[in-house]
Structure formats: structure tokens, C-alpha cells
Amino acid sequence: MRLELKYPATSANAADHARLAVDVAKREYDDELDFSPASLETLDGQIENLREQGISMEEAAEVLFVMGCYLGEVMTRALSCRWTDTERSPLAGLSPWPMVVVAPDGSGWDAIGKVYKRLEIGDSEYLPAFFLSAARASRS
């Protein structure tokens, strides 16, 4: 499964990339993604499906990128986070991705990197748990 990025990989385009993940979910899995926190269970299952098929990070790079944008967009909508360029975030020098999510408390969350780790490492990188961690941190 390969997806050509239709938009530049910038924080300003993160929501557009997230909408591509919605399209992929419908086309490839016949799943509905509605930007709710509950939909992260579906997204996590899609990544597990890629793992089970033996798909590498390189083979699914673009799809993983838009899935990461979807995870981040759920965070922006549900937790009042915002997308920002990585070099202007607390994750500058730590995340290789061009954009990350920043919570209202100022903490940085690498949603794109988390999706890649989910494929690489497996269940220990469960996406709904990542979201809940961000939710707890943003309430502190």
C-alpha cells in the first residue's frame, strides 16, 4: 500500500494529511474514522494489520505518516492541542518529523513518530494509551 503525499509535510497541512488517513481507512479497510478518541482503536488495528502482513516502515511510509497526522489531529480536536513545527517545539532535536503536537500545558507529543513505533515495536505502543497519556498530562 503506497500513498503519495498530496501536501507538503508542514504543520499547516497536518489536518489535510489526517483527512487522507480517513480516505485510506475507508478504501483499504472499509473502516470509518471520525476524529474521535474512540476511533484510535480502529487506527491501531489498521497498523496491527500492517504488522501482521509483514509490511515494513519503508513500504508503508506515506500511509504511516498520514496515520500519524490523524492521531495528532484527534489530539488537537479532543485535547485542545495544536500542531507546530518541530524545531519550535519542546521536541526540537528529538523528533525527526517536521511537525509535532503541543498540548496546552506546553508538552510536546510526537504523534507521527508514535505511529511508526507502533508498526515497528507492536502492542506496547498502543495508540489509545498514547492519547490517554496526553490527556492526563494536559489536565495536570
Q: Give the CATH number of the domain where residue 18 resides.
A: 1.20.120
Residue 129 CB partners (closer than 8 Å, separation 6+): none
Q: What is the pLDDT of residue 2?
A: 47
Domain encompassing residue 98: 11-133
Decide if 101 is inside a domain.
yes
Q: In this predicted model, what pLDDT tens digit does every residue of 24-51 receive, in sequence order?
A: 999 999 999 999 999 999 999 999 999 9
* pTM (predicted TM-score): 0.95
DSSP assignment string, 43-104: HHHHHHHHHHTT--TTTTHHHHHHHHHHHHHHHHHHH--EEEEGGGSTTTTT--SSEEEE-T
Domain count across the chain: 1
Q: Average of pLDDT values for 85-96?
A: 97
Decide if 27 is inside a domain.
yes
pLDDT band per the 50, 70, 90 thresholds, residue 23: very high
DSSP 3-state of 21: helix
Decide if 5 is inside a domain.
no
Q: What is the pLDDT of residue 103?
A: 95
